[in-house]
Structure 1
Amino acid sequence: MYNVMIVDDEPVIRFGLKASVDWTKEGLHYVGDYPNGEEALKAAEGLTIDLLITDIKMPVMDGLILMKEMLQRFPRLKVILVSSYTDFDYVREGLQLGAVDYVLKPTLEPEEFTKLIQKCVEMIKMDRMVEEKLALVNQTTLIREQKGLEHVIKKVILEDSSLDELHRKVGWLKAPFLLLTMTLNHNDKLEEQYGFLYKTMILEDVQNYFYKNIDEGICFSVNENQMFFLLNTKVDPYVDIERLKKVLEQETNSSFTVGFEMINDLFSVKEGFEKSRLASGRRFFHPNESIFRYESFQEGKLTSLDIKWLHQILLPYDKQGLLEFLRKRFQEWESKMALPMEIKNDACEIFGHLFMKQLELDELMEKYKQIKKIETLEGVRKTLLLQIENYAELSYHKHHHPHGDNAIMQKALDFIHGHYTEELTLQLVSSHVHISRNYFSVLFKRFIGENFIDYVMNLRIQKAKELLENTSMRVYEVAEQSGFNDVKYFSKLFKKLTGSSPIDFRSRSQSPL
């Protein structure tokens, strides 16, 4: 609704003007009525006034001065002057200043006054429409410029293309430049709970929010859990980063780590991006911090694994010897401060020697992928220690129940198909079949050929398809009945997996051939 106020020094006139129009029906919010211009200006503080109905001659501040003051505050303001027969010279001046029209007090008719109000409302609507169209044109032009620069930066960073095109595309963005690598935290938990595609949708939400709300800069995903940002900064970069990080975390209900570097020339963008990426990786050693500026440091080099000693404690299996071996290796990881990926590769090598005879090659490679996704040094330590328990369990099952896995999986699948529309986790199902969560994860992938959560999500999507085809349930009801507690996530995932929104899918499936 648009705001309107009445200003006249005669109470009877103010009352008559107010009573002659159904303001709400005309799409107007009646702010109030005031005896002079000074009081009206005070009342307008903190508001946007769209329509001013004012007398011309008043004490303290007259209507023409009020009109000038109001137009300075609200350039799109519509003004109706209220005058007597003797005010015509003032009326002429008011019309020259931009008043829409005037009404005469002695001959004021409610019907004519209402028509004049309606005319002003239409003019206000037209102004708003023009403003919105201009804003849309400006936003479209800006986004086109941002996307053009994004394309060039991507080619420079990811494809090692020439830098020649950069300066032609970046005239609208001024130095100094702030380069950020923003990494999504807790990826393993997100994948386990929602599946792989959920992370992609979070990064898409980040990019959509950025281009809708931030004019100066670009952003794009560089892998499944990282975004790159190029921004202009005019203040302390930590202030800008903290503000951006906070709003994106609120918008996506997620947690991020940010690494950053400052550059003064875009010819350094590739090097700056790599530094911001390395800075983001420092969370591996400092999990309680979330913003890191690049600092040059000397990475340590790990000593080669003593494979002979490792095999001696595995054949025969010596659990205490293995724990002592790992304890010493963990100490070296921490003291050498090697690159996170080198530590993860070291962990994969230990894991490979530990499970080479227990797992198939594809299962072993899947475990390597999982280790390389671990986000902290403590996480890598815990994972390897947990594998010691799995080692004993796998060995026991292999020698004592060579055919028992079929029965375990059948029992697990029966449970999954009976409960997939409820809250269902890997831990819940593994507890039901009385084996460890990690061993069940290996077993499930071996038998089914896909991860547990992806299997469950596909069951839920199939259920949703059936409900959309055969019932008139609303989309949020379909989501709930299919096992999704977030209708927004359900709609996005449904479209990702089927190529159609739930509503479009229903329309096509229920329309006659």
Structure 2
Amino acid sequence: MYRVMIVDDEPVIRNGISAFVDWEEEGLSVEDHYANGAEALASLESGSVDILITDIKMPLINGIQLMKQSIERYPWIKVVLISNYSDFEYVKEGLQLGAVDYLLKLTLNRDDLLAVLRRCISMLEEERRKDSERHHFQQGALYRERKIVEQEIKRLIVQEQSSPSSTAWVPAWLEMSYVCVYFILDAAEEWRENDGFLYVQLMLEELQEKLYELVEEGTALLVAENSLFLIFPNNDGEVERRLGQWKQLLETRWEISTSAGFAIEQGVHNILKGFADSRSACQRRFFDGLGGLYRMSELQNNRENTYTVADPSYDWTPIFEMISAGDPVSFAVEFALERWKEGALSPEQVKHEAYSLLAGVNKLHTNDEALLAERYEMLNQAETLEQLASILACQLEEMEKSFIPKLTDNGYGGQLITKALEYIAAHYTENLTLQSVADFVHLSKSYFSLLFKKQTDRNFIDYLIELRIREAKKLLAHNDGRVYDVALAAGFKDVKYFSKVFKKVTGITPMEYRDKHQTPEFKIG
């Protein structure tokens, strides 16, 4: 709806013009009536008007002066002059200044007024249409230009080129100081599982479009299944504040969490470096937690350049010994965390070492390669060191629960002993004997004893005691029950015998073991 202002020092003229027209039906609204140009100009300070109907001769500021100042403020405004026969010289001046038409007071009627108003509306709509086409053309041209820049930058990154083969596409701002930002959608795997791969891609594309709206100059690229790379001019020097505001806006709009790393570069030849540095800065989320905004500092840059090469032969013997002895998994993981929290390894290298550790423990137990591959995939999906530690601990716990010695062969004898081991694992807290287990697998006591020793490289009773001691360690580390209760729960009927055997195996008493190992769960910080 277009807004109309009526200005005339004669109330009868103002009221007559208002009464002539059904304004709403014509798509118009009369905002105000004023008796002179000074009042009208004061009103224009607080809001624009589309059509101005004004008398020429008025006190304080006449209609021609009002018209001049109104057009200066609002170039689109359409002016209709109201005059007497004696005002013709003023009318000529008004028409030269751009008035749409003039109406004589003495002969003013509804049809003439409507005809002029509809001409004003037609002119306003035509101008808006042209403005819209111009805007779309400009936006389209800008969009095409950005897409060209986007593709060329993507080519530089994919081909790992520091300098483009042609600079024809390079915008002027890329030769100045600019900001490189690497955005990661947190918990993207969870989004993919719940809503599908295409949903995540559409979300990233919407984020890309929103970032284009937020920056007048710049480009945004989809660079991974969960990541965007953004480059924009560093005009105001308040990069961190602006990025923080954008992050909050995006996260609120889509109800998501993002992590971002950024670096400041200059010149098109530094795009590849800006990409690598901003991505490395964003990787701090692995150590510091999701949802952060990280800047690539000189100190971090130096550390990134001196990352230790992950050593697949790193000596994990202390951890293997802990796990083999049945000590709490949390202590084994904490031992590894002490190395990983130093920051000498990249997130990928940490995950590689975690897998090496898991593979080593796997060999101590079932040596199930298929299961190991599944566990590696779970480790690889960890987005933070805390998540990695938690996944690793759970997997080690599972391995420990399925503590079964490696057998010398998988033939019929191995199958019988596997069956016996499963039976022992289910009944070790009961009054198990060599005879009862031999009966279960339908072998003689003597033959079962020989076969068990051959397949597991240990005596039946030694294995049973080892299994019970491992259970006792878990109970001591995770609850405050009496040693007597721990002994019974682990399968020992005599607490004195239990204490004696426990010390012989571990070198310390049950209470000393509890004091040493009963601590809060491992922490990342």
Aligned pairs for 1:281-296 within 5 A: 281-287=283-289, 290-295=292-297, 296=301
Asked whether the 8 Å contact 2:162–2:272 carries over to 1, the reply is no
1:384 aligns with 2:392: yes
2:265 to 256, 263, 266: 263
Aligned to 1:143: 143
Instruction: Report the CA distance between 1:119 and its aligned residue.
Output: 1.3
Q: Structure 1: 5+ residue runs without aligned partners?
A: 402-513
Aligned to 1:345: 352
1:341 partner amino acid = E
Aligned pairs for 1:390-469 within 5 A: 390-391=398-399
What SS does the aligned partner of 1:167 have?
A: coil
Instruction: Report the CA distance between 1:321 and its aligned residue.
Output: 4.6
Instruction: Report the CA distance between 1:130 and its aligned residue.
Output: 0.2
Instruction: Report the CA distance between 1:238 and its aligned residue.
Output: 1.6
Aligned to 1:83: 83
Judged with a 3 Å threshold, the aligned counterparts in structure 2 of structure 1 residues 352 and 43 are, in CA distance, closer, same or farther, namely: farther
Judged with a 3 Å threshold, the aligned counterparts in structure 2 of structure 1 residues 335 and 68 are, in CA distance, closer, same or farther, namely: same
Judged with a 3 Å threshold, the aligned counterparts in structure 2 of structure 1 residues 203 and 362 are, in CA distance, closer, same or farther, namely: farther
Instruction: Report the CA distance between 1:212 and its aligned residue.
Output: 4.8
| C-alpha distance after superposition, 1:34-86 (max 9, x if no partner) | 22222222222343321111111111221111111111111111111111222
Aligned to 2:444: none
Aligned pairs for 1:34-113 within 5 A: 34-113=34-113
Following the alignment from structure 1 to structure 2, what is the Cα–Cα distance between the partners of residues 392 and 257?
A: 35
Asked whether the 8 Å contact 1:142–1:215 carries over to 2, the reply is no
Judged with a 3 Å threshold, the aligned counterparts in structure 2 of structure 1 residues 183 and 106 are, in CA distance, closer, same or farther, namely: same
Following the alignment from structure 2 to structure 1, what is the Cα–Cα distance between the partners of residues 23 and 367?
A: 77
Following the alignment from structure 1 to structure 2, what is the Cα–Cα distance between the partners of residues 286 and 257?
A: 11
Aligned to 1:170: 170
Instruction: Report the CA distance between 1:344 and its aligned residue.
Output: 1.8
Following the alignment from structure 1 to structure 2, what is the Cα–Cα distance between the partners of residues 9 and 364?
A: 92
Aligned to 2:123: 123
Following the alignment from structure 2 to structure 1, what is the Cα–Cα distance between the partners of residues 227 and 343?
A: 26
| C-alpha distance after superposition, 1:426-466 (max 9, x if no partner) | xxxxxxxxxxxxxxxxxxxxxxxxxxxxxxxxxxxxxxxxx
Aligned to 2:335: 328
Judged with a 3 Å threshold, the aligned counterparts in structure 2 of structure 1 residues 271 and 161 are, in CA distance, closer, same or farther, namely: closer
1:372 partner amino acid = N
Asked whether the 8 Å contact 1:4–1:49 carries over to 2, the reply is yes
| C-alpha distance after superposition, 1:330-389 (max 9, x if no partner) | 122113442222112222223334457669656543443332232222221222223244
Instruction: Report the CA distance between 1:319 and its aligned residue.
Output: 4.3
| C-alpha distance after superposition, 1:294-329 (max 9, x if no partner) | 1224256467543555555555xx542533221111
Larger radius of gyration between Structure 1 and Structure 2: 2
Following the alignment from structure 1 to structure 2, what is the Cα–Cα distance between the partners of residues 16 and 367?
A: 86
Q: TM-score, normalised by structure 2?
A: 0.70
Judged with a 3 Å threshold, the aligned counterparts in structure 2 of structure 1 residues 90 and 282 are, in CA distance, closer, same or farther, namely: same
Following the alignment from structure 1 to structure 2, what is the Cα–Cα distance between the partners of residues 373 and 350?
A: 17
Aligned to 2:434: none
Asked whether the 8 Å contact 2:323–2:332 carries over to 1, the reply is no
2:223 partner amino acid = V
Aligned length: 398
Aligned to 1:277: 279
Aligned to 1:10: 10
Aligned to 1:239: 241
Moved more, 69-78 or 192-201: 192-201
Following the alignment from structure 1 to structure 2, what is the Cα–Cα distance between the partners of residues 265 and 208?
A: 25
Judged with a 3 Å threshold, the aligned counterparts in structure 2 of structure 1 residues 291 and 77 are, in CA distance, closer, same or farther, namely: same
1:180 aligns with 2:181: yes
Following the alignment from structure 1 to structure 2, what is the Cα–Cα distance between the partners of residues 166 and 233?
A: 24
Aligned pairs for 1:493-504 within 5 A: none
Asked whether the 8 Å contact 2:329–2:397 carries over to 1, the reply is no
Asked whether the 8 Å contact 1:150–1:220 carries over to 2, the reply is yes
Following the alignment from structure 1 to structure 2, what is the Cα–Cα distance between the partners of residues 19 and 363?
A: 86
Following the alignment from structure 1 to structure 2, what is the Cα–Cα distance between the partners of residues 69 and 284?
A: 61
Moved more, 111-120 or 145-154: 111-120
1:67 partner amino acid = M
1:254 to 251, 256, 262: 256
Judged with a 3 Å threshold, the aligned counterparts in structure 2 of structure 1 residues 360 and 57 are, in CA distance, closer, same or farther, namely: farther
Asked whether the 8 Å contact 2:84–2:106 carries over to 1, the reply is yes
Q: TM-score, normalised by structure 1?
A: 0.71
Following the alignment from structure 1 to structure 2, what is the Cα–Cα distance between the partners of residues 33 and 355?
A: 88
Asked whether the 8 Å contact 2:263–2:277 carries over to 1, the reply is yes
Aligned to 2:520: none
Aligned pairs for 1:221-240 within 5 A: 221-235=222-236, 236-240=238-242
2:380 to 350, 372, 380: 372
| C-alpha distance after superposition, 1:250-297 (max 9, x if no partner) | 343322222111112111111111011101111222227622111224
Moved more, 160-169 or 219-228: 160-169
Asked whether the 8 Å contact 1:4–1:28 carries over to 2, the reply is yes
1:347 partner amino acid = A
Following the alignment from structure 2 to structure 1, what is the Cα–Cα distance between the partners of residues 21 and 50?
A: 16
Following the alignment from structure 1 to structure 2, what is the Cα–Cα distance between the partners of residues 61 and 127?
A: 29
Aligned to 1:461: none
2:192 partner amino acid = E
Judged with a 3 Å threshold, the aligned counterparts in structure 2 of structure 1 residues 61 and 386 are, in CA distance, closer, same or farther, namely: farther
Moved more, 189-198 or 339-348: 189-198
Instruction: Report the CA distance between 1:217 and its aligned residue.
Output: 0.7
| C-alpha distance after superposition, 1:207-254 (max 9, x if no partner) | 222345533111111101111111012112123322332333334332
Following the alignment from structure 1 to structure 2, what is the Cα–Cα distance between the partners of residues 367 and 41?
A: 75
Asked whether the 8 Å contact 2:186–2:290 carries over to 1, the reply is no
Aligned pairs for 1:461-480 within 5 A: none
Aligned to 2:29: 29
Asked whether the 8 Å contact 2:379–2:392 carries over to 1, the reply is no
Q: Structure 2: 5+ residue runs without aligned partners?
A: 405-418, 424-525
Judged with a 3 Å threshold, the aligned counterparts in structure 2 of structure 1 residues 264 and 61 are, in CA distance, closer, same or farther, namely: same
Judged with a 3 Å threshold, the aligned counterparts in structure 2 of structure 1 residues 116 and 355 are, in CA distance, closer, same or farther, namely: farther
Asked whether the 8 Å contact 2:186–2:291 carries over to 1, the reply is no
2:109 partner amino acid = E
Instruction: Report the CA distance between 1:162 and its aligned residue.
Output: 6.9
Following the alignment from structure 2 to structure 1, what is the Cα–Cα distance between the partners of residues 20 and 371?
A: 81
Following the alignment from structure 2 to structure 1, what is the Cα–Cα distance between the partners of residues 173 and 329?
A: 56
What SS does the aligned partner of 2:283 have?
A: helix
What SS does the aligned partner of 2:182 have?
A: strand
Judged with a 3 Å threshold, the aligned counterparts in structure 2 of structure 1 residues 333 and 194 are, in CA distance, closer, same or farther, namely: same
